[in-house]
């Protein structure tokens, strides 16, 4: 093994405690990396995932939400060839590592192939001999949390090493030791963004039209619930995560009211035909100025379209940064992780704009949190 | 005074966080390491060679590390021993396996070896079966460090994410301390057979 590969492969990005992440020196080229999910079926898991693949997708979405120049693309139930050094990024359960034994106590292994200084392949292999579930919060003895381990292993695929094995002391999913941390921490995010940049929420670039466009046909915009009802749902969600799912609290700079108000505003702009960047920009303008920018159009009645979950998650991550760095808010805490926050708020709003009252919408969401299939909307 | 210190020690221990396990590998305790190792040696790296090998699904890179054995604490006695680790660099190609221990010629280590069945890492607990031996230049005494280079304050730190709470800072373990502890544990295990 060359010294270059053994030692110089790792770069200490910075010595500051706030940015203690450690990076592999061979990054992916900017763009999209396809991961072939070959994890097989599973009964409904504790966190409501209906398959290992769904839990893995959720972990990948968490990384996607914080990176600009690299995005993972999921190939569900892939039938691609499983092998090392074949240029295919396999994610699978197996009893060995392509013919070599895991050894006792090994939960999962991530391999990275690099040619010269460019990454060309990464495989994540979970030890099929162990007992797995997908759950958040406190670790359970004898049952491995697939989602938490997947978040960690995908962090290696991103290119992050263990900060705690490189002289750093920071809370991080990427620490070599598992803990009750079950979501990305600031140091994890900073490490990913040091490699691939942060997703920006930028004002839309005005594009001059060569000829005047016809005025849009006026129509009603999709209405959203009053603030007190949404806030009541958010309070119930906090209790559900804290008391029902027994999730531990993690720091957040966005208080509960700010969370529901601005996440709902983002969704309102999206449903009313604003792009992700445009919606994010308008919300930030509203926070800064107190004014309410107009929506971008009128969605046809009955077809309110909500964005894919990685986009509101990216917005919510940016909102966290806005409160921390822009508004200089002090940290509070929440038992609801960012992903659960945006997924379930959006789901509540989806029921509300599709004819359900507050109580029914909340009830439908909590049924899903408990692992039941999504009830139909009320139209 | 002794009672007060004992109470303080108990209080600190009670306040210490629950030991965590590593994400990818469950860290073995010192007793586990000794019990699970087929061989425990104090060794010096004399060569490191990476090569392509056929694998079940194509080919892989492995690294053969040859150790000169300075002392055998458990298992058969060898003058030299070769161990195979998954990963390495050949030409322009690198296979990096996260957590895999990496060696350089001249490294001195205490190794807890368990290589039956051709594991990806022949050490007990992947990387945790390696302890670095580092000469303290001030005292000229060999000290033992963890696989990632942290000083080891006591055997109770092996397999623990957080150093156990102590009333006073622990004296870092010397190689002699460590070897004596392994010897004692091996004798205990042999008596129990």
Where are the domains positioned within chain A?
3-196, 227-369
Contact call for A105 and B97, based on CB within 8 A:
no
pLDDT in tens, B143-155: 999 998 888 888 8
Which residue in B23, B28, B85 is closest to A178 by CB distance? B23
Q: Has residue B163 got a pLDDT over 70?
A: no
Mean pLDDT of B79-84: 97
Chain A 11-50, residues with CB within 8 Å of chain B CB atoms: 24, 26
Residue B157 pLDDT: 83
- Predicted local confidence at residue A134, as pLDDT: 93
What phi and psi, each to the nearest 5 degrees, are found at residue A75? -110, 105
Domain total of chain B: 1
Residue-level pLDDT at A139: 87
Nearest-by-CA chain A residue for B27? A105
Which B residues 47-66 touch A at CB under 8 Å? Answer: 48, 50, 55-61, 63
Residue A39 pLDDT: 95
Task: Give Cα A195 to chain centroid, integer Å.
Answer: 17
The closest CB to that of A109, out of B48, B85, B120, belongs to: B120
- Euclidean distance between CA atoms B43 and B187, whole angstroms: 21
More confident residue, B20 or B149: B149
Instruction: Please state, as a whole number, how many other Cβ atoms lie within 10 Å of the Cβ of residue A52.
Output: 24
Q: In the A/B pair of chains, how many CB contacts fall below 8 A? A: 165
Instruction: Classify A77 in phi/psi space as left (phi over 0), alpha (psi -120 to 50) or beta.
Output: left
pLDDT for B32 equals 94
Give the pLDDT means over successive 10-residue stretches in chain A (379 positions): 32 35 78 94 84 93 92 93 91 93 90 89 94 90 92 94 81 86 90 89 46 47 81 90 83 89 91 87 85 78 75 90 85 87 91 84 85 77
pLDDT of residue B165: 56
Most confident of A200-209, B122-131, B169-178: B122-131
pTM of the model: 0.64
Q: Average the pLDDT over each of A110-114, A238-242, B165-169, B177-181 and give the range with the smallest value.
A: B165-169
Q: What are phi and psi of B11, to 5 degrees?
A: -65, -40
Domain that holds residue B112: 2-192
Contact of A359 with A335, CB cutoff 8 Å? no
Q: How far apart are CA A279 and CA A268, in angstroms?
A: 8
Whether the ipTM is more than 0.90: the answer is no
- Domain A3-196: which topology? Collagenase (Catalytic Domain) (3.40.390)
Contact A222, A353 (CB under 8 A): yes
CB contact under 8 A, B120 and A97: yes
Interface of A with B in 69-88 (CB under 8 A): 81-86
Model pLDDT, residue A126: 95
Q: What's the pLDDT score for residue B18?
A: 34
Q: Collect all residues with Cβ–Cβ distance below 8 Å to A217 and sequence separation of at least 6.
A: A298
pLDDT for the residue A369: 84
Predicted local distance difference test score (pLDDT) of residue A273: 86
């Amino acid at each position: 093994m060359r010294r270059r590969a053994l030692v110089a492969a790792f770069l200490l990005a910075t010595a500051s405690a706030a940015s203690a992440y450690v990076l592999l020196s061979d990054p992916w080229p900017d763009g999209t990396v396809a991961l072939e999910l070959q994890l097989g079926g599973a009964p409904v898991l504790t966190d409501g995932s209906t398959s290992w693949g769904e839990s893995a997708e959720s972990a990948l979405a968490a990384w996607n939400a914080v990176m600009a120049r690299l995005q993972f693309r999921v190939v569900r139930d892939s039938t691609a060839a499983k092998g090392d050094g074949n240029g295919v990024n396999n994610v699978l359960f197996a009893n060995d590592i392509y013919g070599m034994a895991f050894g006792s106590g090994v939960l999962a292994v991530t391999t990275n192939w690099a040619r010269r200084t460019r990454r060309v392949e990464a495989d994540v292999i979970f030890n099929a001999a162990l007992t797995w579930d997908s759950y958040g919060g406190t670790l359970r003895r004898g049952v491995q949390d697939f989602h938490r381990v997947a978040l960690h292993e995908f962090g290696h695929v991103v290119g992050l090493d263990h900060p705690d094995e490189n002289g750093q002391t920071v809370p991080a999913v990427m620490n070599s030791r598992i803990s009750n941390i079950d979501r990305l921490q600031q140091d994890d995010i900073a490490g990913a963004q040091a490699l691939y940049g942060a997703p920006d929420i930028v004002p839309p670039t005005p594009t001059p039209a060569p000829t005047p466009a016809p005025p849009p046909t006026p129509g009603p915009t999709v209405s959203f619930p009053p603030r007190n009802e949404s806030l009541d749902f958010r309070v119930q969600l906090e209790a559900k995560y804290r008391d029902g799912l027994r999730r531990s609290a993690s720091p957040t700079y966005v208080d509960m009211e700010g969370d529901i108000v601005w996440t709902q505003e983002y969704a309102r702009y999206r449903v009313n035909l604003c792009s992700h960047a445009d919606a994010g920009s308008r919300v930030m303008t509203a926070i800064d100025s107190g004014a309410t920018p107009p929506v971008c159009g009128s969605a046809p009645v009955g077809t309110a379209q909500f964005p894919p979950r990685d986009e509101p998650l990216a917005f919510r991550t940016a909102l966290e940064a806005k409160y921390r760095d822009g508004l200089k808010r002090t940290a509070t805490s929440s038992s609801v992780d960012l992903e659960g926050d945006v997924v379930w708020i959006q789901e509540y709003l989806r029921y509300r704009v599709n004819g359900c009252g507050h109580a029914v919408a909340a009830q439908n969401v909590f049924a899903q949190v408990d692992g039941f299939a999504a009830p139909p909307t009320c139209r | 005074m002794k009672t007060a210190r004992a109470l303080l020690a108990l209080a600190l221990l009670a306040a210490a966080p629950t030991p965590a396990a590593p994400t990818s590998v469950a860290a073995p305790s010192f007793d586990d390491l000794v019990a699970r190792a087929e061989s425990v040696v104090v060794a010096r790296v004399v060569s490191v060679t990476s090569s392509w090998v056929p694998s079940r699904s194509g080919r892989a890179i492995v690294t053969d590390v040859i150790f000169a054995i300075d002392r055998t604490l458990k298992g058969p006695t060898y003058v030299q021993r070769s161990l195979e680790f998954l990963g390495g660099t050949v030409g322009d190609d690198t296979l990096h396996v996260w957590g895999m221990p990496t060696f350089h010629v001249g490294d001195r280590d205490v190794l807890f070896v368990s290589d039956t069945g051709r594991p990806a890492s022949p050490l007990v607990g992947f990387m945790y079966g390696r302890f670095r031996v580092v000469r303290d230049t001030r005292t000229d005494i060999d000290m033992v460090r963890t696989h990632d280079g942290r000083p080891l304050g006591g055997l109770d730190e092996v397999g623990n994410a957080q150093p156990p709470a102590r009333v006073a800072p622990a004296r870092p373990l010397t190689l002699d301390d460590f070897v004596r502890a392994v010897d004692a544990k091996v004798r205990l295990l042999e008596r129990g057979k």
